[in-house]
Structure 1
Amino acid sequence: MPETTTIPARLRRWVRESLGVLRRWSHRHPHLRRSVLPLLRPLLRPLLRELADRFASRYRDWVRIEETLAPQDLAAIAAHIATLGAKPLISVVMPVYNTPEPFLRAAIASVEAQLWPHWQLCIADDASPAPHVARVLAEAAARDARIRVERRAVNGHICAASNTALALATGEWVALMDHDDLLPPSALYEIAAEVAAHPDAAVIYSDEDHADNHGNRSRPYFKPDFDPDLLLAQNLVSHLGAYRRDLMTEIGGFRDGFEGSQDHDLALRATRHCGAARVRHIPAVLYHWRQQSGVASFSESEMERCVAASSRAVADHLAASGVVGARIERAPLAPIFNRVVFAFPTKPPLVSVIIPTRDRAKLLRTCVEGVVSRTDYPALEIIIADNGSVERATLALFENLRKAHGVRVLPLPGPFNFSRLNNQALREARGEVIVFLNNDIDVIGPGWLREMVTHALRPGIGAVGARLLFADGRLQHCGDVLGVGFPGGVAGHYGGLAAPDDPGPFATYVVTRSVSAVTAACLAVRRAILDEVGGFDEANLAVAFNDVDLCLRIREAGYRNLYAPAAELYHLESATRGDDLRPEHRERFMAEVRVMRDRWGAALDQDPYWNPNLSLSVLDGQLAFPTRRVKPWRDFIKEAPCAPPDARSAA
């Protein structure tokens, strides 16, 4: 899985802003540009390298603290293995072609070093011309009967070779491994432990990172739990991916013609066949991609073939799932990933856009004009929930909007209660789809509402949120992460203040994906779902967290909430609402925090779409120290006995 970023978002943001300052300064002072910038360039390059190295060092520190197995860990793992009733044989499938000898030996050795003893390594040599390959494989097979090798007579490329290796497998589970990569010693044990904890599992995947020629690890991908929409965008399963062998047999193994994205095609077909409920994610780095220094990366043409194969696999998957009329595009800012454009209904449903407001005529005019004049949607009504506006400009605007656009204005005076305003407007709404919209939203492009409605109408989808930007183009919202924020740890926006051209870690700012919650500053949802869950909680959550609560109730009812980045709008955050922590608001805010904690405490602490190895303090991919992950051998750890005090300390 190619990565779209190698250093933290905050660091990249600082570098980009600093370079922008230098650029503006150089344009104002061309004579200094010619003399000073040539001196600065050689200073900036090593500085950026040092900053990137420091981030890599932080990950190495995290690996040392969180992932290094101490003697008591090894003993606990052995004790856990002994207690497991079922001990599945795991077949590691490895196609090989002309692998450099040191890397091939290291890959095999990493399987031989597994703490889980019930494995077999199934290797298909795809007619490698290099003589060392056959020699190394023969030595390995002679050394351990669990290693099975077959040499193909002719080169068939990756799919054919993978199927040859798969035919050698006799285990209940199959794990996929490339010929020059590495497994940590606990990898297969973790798979077996997950199978023991979830016997119905059919597909299991883990987090992953990269390792260089010297074993230095970098660029971790800490993944969310299974997300069908993210799998359409990229190969979420990837490595370490493990599948029930009978499932692999049923779906026919690897398909010729998908070389370069054969694993993505396999993951799509397997998860469609078994269902999302049988897909499990282990939030641990159980696979190290080998990055060979001095070896050329994919050429542009090879990368293009991989991306094209991925797009075809997704198109096939959607067609087999009964989805008609969808087309596959490249994700904006991350063209190696997919964007699925689902078919817009031939008879678009009526959409009710509900906008709560109190005065602020200039903001409201911009918002409504964007909806009625710059939005490409054929059937909508606008309802303004007026919370006691008194300014003449606002009242005049209401009258103009009624006459010009048929906007309905509902007088709803009284103390500000965002939930009550939306609920009362909802009772007046006629639309099949409801869009809750803040009065400080400004439309950027015409297709935002089509995008949101198209997703909202998909079976199984609940609330749909947009990609919201500040006025200067920086990112304000691309989904909420649970468990974030002070005080209370309820929820916070992901990706805040990222630059407009920043795709985010592994393109998470720019690909469609599942989230636990989205902001009601721009939220689309079917009216039937709102009726099912009861709308906003106006009794307990008048101002804060009402959207998070609504999304969690929608999720509890069995729907998936979605972030749709192709729906992009400007949002002037909190332009019409004060700071929740100001003295006059603090008591109300803390009461709402307590409501959320009492109602959703367990859910807030375990966001399935935010990996427990990632920090809840800074939502830009920083690491969690310590990790929130519960390791499967934890209950078997025996603490070392305390050493007796020496004579001096006793004295």
Structure 2
Amino acid sequence: MLSKVLKPSNLKRLAYRLAKKLIIVPHHQLRETDTENTDSSWMSTGDDPQFIIHPARRIPTRTFKKGWYLLRVKMTEKNHQSHVAKLYSNLQKGELTTVDVPWHSTKFVNRLFYLESNNAMLRFDPCEAETEFTINTFMISKVPSFIAMRYMKQRLYKLLSHVDDVEEYLDTNRKLNGGKFIETVYEEYNKTFITGAMEKSYPFWVEFDEPRGLQKMQQTFTPEQSEVKFSIILPTYNTDPIYLKECIDSVLLQTHKNWELCIADDASTNVDTIKTLESYAQKHANIKLNLLSENGHISKSSNAALSMVTSDYVLLLDHDDTLPAHTLSFFAQAITDNANAKVLYGDEDKIDEQGNRHQPHFKPDWNPDLLLSQNYICHPVVYKTSVIKKIGGFRVGVEGSQDHDLLLRATAGLNHDEVVHLPFILYHWRVIENSTASDASAKTYTTDAGIEAIKHFLEQSGQNASVEKGKYPNTYKVNWALPDEEPLVSLVIPTRDGYDILKQCLESIYNKTSYKNFEIIVVDNQTTCEKTLGLFSEYTNSKANFRVLKWDKPFNYSAINNFAVSQAKGEVVGLVNNDIEVINEGWLTEMVSHVLRPEVGCVGAKLYYPNDTIQHAGVVLGIGGVAGHSHKYFHKSEPGYFTRLHLVQNMSAVTAACLLVRKSVFEEVGGLNEQDLTVAFNDVDFCLKVHTAGYRNLFTPWAELYHHESISRGEEDTPEKVARFNKESDYMKDKWKKLLTNDTAYNPNLSNTHENFSLK
């Protein structure tokens, strides 16, 4: 246990006592807005504002010496939004040494960080958006290692409260990863600044943001929606009368009044449960009650409730959950606005025994591959009655995953416009001890039932695929079979010099790839390095499936790849950066198994920085104005947003640092745009062309590679490069404006400035 607690007041005094005097200089995309204010007020003019920080001491002693430091900062943002700042402790190593500093307007943040060597300067990026802010306090204090250890462990004890023995947990991680104990503590401490950002801001969102969104939606209501009638089916069994009353009362309080409640009780033995149900049924004519004589489990009781339905639309409700008062009104309007809708669903959060709301799930629009990986839709769901009855209702034998099974069968063969998502919290899922809402592992049988549901779906739809458990409870991995004759894959790798990274890339592909039917096409863009030219000769002479194409023109990423693809022999082409390093030998098999599916367009891999943090897990549109990388900087061991870091899913775009696509699809959409996008965003543009052509782009976490991006990537550090980047950015915003402002694989309630799935 901790020998001494560092109270906030003690920490504040420590920071002030040890603080260094600093020189803070605006470096990039910053303009001072109020020179008369005693605080420092700024406007960020882009999505990459930067300050350079020096110790205010005379040369040559002006340096940040190796060791532990405490950053204490308070900033005020004009719109009181939350942001994630980044502190760069080594400018030469770039992204590899960043420290995340999530901050909320007007609140102090204390953040420990470690300098591996003496540094003359640090870089502080306050946000990743165009906004106005004031720096009220900014202090950096050097602290002893024992103070750093004490403070980090104090934070971990607080945030790892679900871990029985934090000391044992930390020691186990140290043994697994090697190294010193304080290094393990620091690694776990750093993780807490990524994963904790969203939960802290949800009460604020509920109080201020949600009402504005609801009001805006309600202004679109039309009189026709009142004609839509819902049948709410509610199976019950020994429900606590307190929660049962809250559940039924939430239906009675609906602002949309055209409904019937169909309750089927599964032979409850709790007398109070039965009395409560009978009382409501006697008082309300639109509440139907069927007291079953034998317990048949959830599927049979749900079908019994379904048999009482008389309306065109069915909504599922669990017996201890509740509906916000506007739920039916929102669904009714969505049905009115979407004539083809057959399945509709909304977002949800969880409520505890006292009704406190937490853990919101803001879902993407229709995402078929994510549904095969996890029941991301869960509830609330509204079905057209004809659809649910056509498939025979709930299937007996998959209890525990009956809702997932129903969704898979109901959505099979539906067009994209027949599945409608409402990005509003329309359901409160009750968290009680041993409930699935409280802990997915509380009902371990549900994962087995989910495997049976997906297996049945794959068999019924004629798919040559199998399914196995995923990394987390109630998650799954579908394995798509390859044809007996595996197709040739052409891996295109552009390069100029870069001997070390190219050698590493080629060696890893040849030595760590189990899929054997591939060729490598290196495109030489004016290489002059003799060692690199020698590497070309070495592989050309030793590998029959290796060749070099010459591109003796100025660098144009799009044109280079278009040229190489035109020369490719493979049915499948892979766009691969020269700084990629293979991790798992099944990476190419996994990606090919998806890209051969007729409905799939581009397939992207899971890429890590060398420090095992996420570089790419799919592209999210609109972040920073054009696009950002999902879960960037999360550690690879983290689950991500509702475990999405470990799930196959559809994404609007994926990075071309490692992207597979059928050559026929590449040619169908005209390849990469070599006129307007010579360097930046060409992969996003390409993916969106594939998307609009009717294909589904896809990210798989089961193809893992390192991306040594900071080694090969040039900075936008000259006026010419900045002008070119801005021009390409403006092109994307003009061409894809509608998609950039509404990524169907994301959610409009989530941030368009951060890549961590925090709230907007």
Please tell me the TM-score bracket, short chain as reference: 0.7 to 0.9
**Could you tell me whether the CA contact under 8 Å between 1:581 and 1:589 is conserved in 2?**
no
Please, which of 423, 436, 444 is the counterpart of residue 283 of structure 1?
Answer: 423
Q: CA deviation at 1:605?
A: 1.1
CA offset at residue 443 of structure 1? Answer: 0.8
Higher normalized helix content (fraction of residues) = 1
Q: Tell me: CA distance 1:73–1:361, structure 2 relative to 1, closer, same or farther (3 Å).
A: closer
3-state DSSP of counterpart to 1:535:
coil
**1:449 and 1:37, CA in 2 relative to 1: closer, same or farther beyond 3 A?**
closer
Q: Which amino acid aligns with 2:299?
A: C
Question: What pairs with 1:200-599 in structure 2 (closer than 5 Å)?
Answer: 200-292=340-432, 303-324=443-464, 326-332=465-471, 334-406=472-544, 407-485=546-624, 489-580=625-716, 582-599=718-735
Q: Which amino acid aligns with 2:364?
A: P
Shift of 1:616: 0.7
Give the Cα–Cα distance (whole angstroms) in 2 for the partners of residues 515 and 372 of structure 1. 29
Native 8 Å contact 1:509 1:565 kept in 2: yes
1:112 aligned partner:
252
Equivalent-residue separation in structure 2 for 1:309 and 1:340 (angstroms): 15
> Gaps (5+ residues) in structure 2?
1-82, 87-98, 102-110, 115-144, 162-191
In structure 2, distance between residues paired with 1:295 and 1:304: 11
Aligned to 1:150: 290
Structure 2 residue 123 is matched with structure 1 residue 45: no
Q: Is the 8 A contact 1:261 1:306 kept in 2?
A: yes
What's the offset of the Cα at 1:54?
Answer: 8.7
Taking structure 1 as reference, are residues 256 and 388 closer, same or farther at Cα in structure 2, changes over 3 Å only? same
Determine if contact 1:86/1:196 at 8 Å carries over to the other structure: no
Partner deviation per Cα, 1:517-557 (whole Å, 9 max, x = no partner)? 11110000000001101111111111000000110111111
The separation in 1 between residues aligned to 2:210 and 2:148, in whole angstroms, is 46
- 2:230 aligns with 90
Amino acid at match of 1:363: I
Residue identity in the other structure for 1:423: N
Instruction: Indicate the residue corresponding to 1:179 in structure 2.
Output: 319
603 and 581 in structure 1: CA distance in 2 versus 1, 3 angstrom threshold: farther
Residues 212 and 293 of structure 1 are in contact (CA less than 8 Å); yes or no, is this contact kept in structure 2? no
1:268 shift after superposition: 0.2
Contact 1:9 1:620 in 2 (8 A): no
Q: Does 1:602 align with 2:719?
A: no
Change (3 A) 1:349 1:73: closer
- TM-aligned CA distance change 1:55 to 1:359, over 3 Å: closer
Within 2, Cα distance between the matches of 1:480 and 1:286? 27
Following superposition, which runs of at least 4 residues in structure 1 exceed 3 angstroms of deviation?
8-11, 18-21, 35-44, 46-57, 79-82, 273-277, 293-302
- The structure with the greater share of residues assigned to strand is 2
Q: Which digits, 9 at most, give the CA deviation of each residue in 1:296-326, with x for residues without a partner?
A: 98899863311011011111111111102x2
Q: What is the percentage of aligned positions where both structures have the same residue?
A: 41
The match for 1:28 is none
- 1:222: how far off? 0.3
Tell me: CA distance 1:375–1:9, structure 2 relative to 1, closer, same or farther (3 Å).
farther
Tell me, in whole angstroms, the C-alpha distance in 1 between the residues paired with 2:298 and 2:327: 23
Shift in alpha-carbon separation, 1:569–1:100, aligned structure 2, 3 A: same
Q: RMSD of the TM alignment (CA)? A: 2.9
Q: Which has the higher contact order (CA 8 A, sep 6+)?
A: 1
Quick one: which amino acid aligns to residue 524 of structure 1?
L
1:141 aligns to 2:281 (yes or no):
yes
| Superposed counterparts of 1:122-137, under 5 Å | 122-137=262-277
Q: Which AA in structure 1 matches 2:417?
A: A
**Distance in 2, Cα, partners of 1:48 & 1:300:** 18
Instruction: Report the CA distance between 1:413 and its aligned residue.
Output: 1.6
More moved, 146-155 vs 374-383: 374-383
Residues 349 and 359 in structure 2, CA contact (< 8 A), matched pair in contact too = yes
Look up the SS of the partner of 1:127 in the other structure: coil
User: Contact between 2:222 and 2:333, CA under 8 Å: does it hold in 1?
Assistant: no
Verify the 8 A CA contact 1:251 1:270 in the aligned structure 2.
yes
The alignment partner of 1:256 has SS state of coil
Alpha carbons 1:224, 1:608 under 8 Å: kept: yes
SS in 2 for 1:148: strand
Q: Which amino acid is 1:379 matched to?
A: N
State TM-score, norm by structure 2: 0.74
Q: Structure 2: how far apart are the matches of 1:558 and 1:403?
A: 42
Q: Write the letter of the residue equivalent to 1:316.
A: H
State the one-letter code of the partner of 1:412.
W
Report SS of the residue matched to 2:516: coil
